[in-house]
Amino acid sequence: MLRYFVNKGAILKIKLVDIIIIMIAACIVFFAVYAAYIKPQDMLNNILIRASEDEWTFPVNAEETIVVTGPLGKTIVRLHNSSAWIESSPCDNQTCMSAGLITKQGQWTACLPNNVLLMMQGTINEDDDVDALSR
């Protein structure tokens, strides 16, 4: 299984071990490229819910109702149809509920009085709308 290659007058011997090492390196490069560029985007996206001392992560397509306990009481967070929102909260001003749905990566909403953060994480699609301030 020895092959000879001529490199400017020098003869290089390629052994079976060399071929195995080259194949392993090629597999590592393939999987690194797959993980970075080819992997389906839904696998990279998730919804993060953070409370005072707790943190939960859900896939974007999760269908859940989560009860998060904060300093003021219980905040109910809904995950449905690749979107998330705060359904109810014990805070006085209810601004977190008025914020509505978050549906795109990078969006977030929070109930600051109850110390609850809801954020859509992951890769941002370049085809998504960009607001005038960020152009």
- How do the domains of the chain map onto residue ranges? 3-38, 42-121
Q: Look up the pTM and report it.
A: 0.60
For residue range 87-128, list pLDDT tens digits in order: 999 988 888 899 989 998 889 999 999 999 999 987 665 555
User: In the CATH scheme, what architecture does the domain 42-121 have?
Assistant: Sandwich (2.60)
Residue 54, beta-bridge partner list: none
Residue 86, beta-bridge partner list: 77
- Which are the contacts of 60, defined by CB distance < 8 A and separation ≥ 6? 42, 45, 46, 47, 82, 120, 122
pLDDT of residue 65: 94
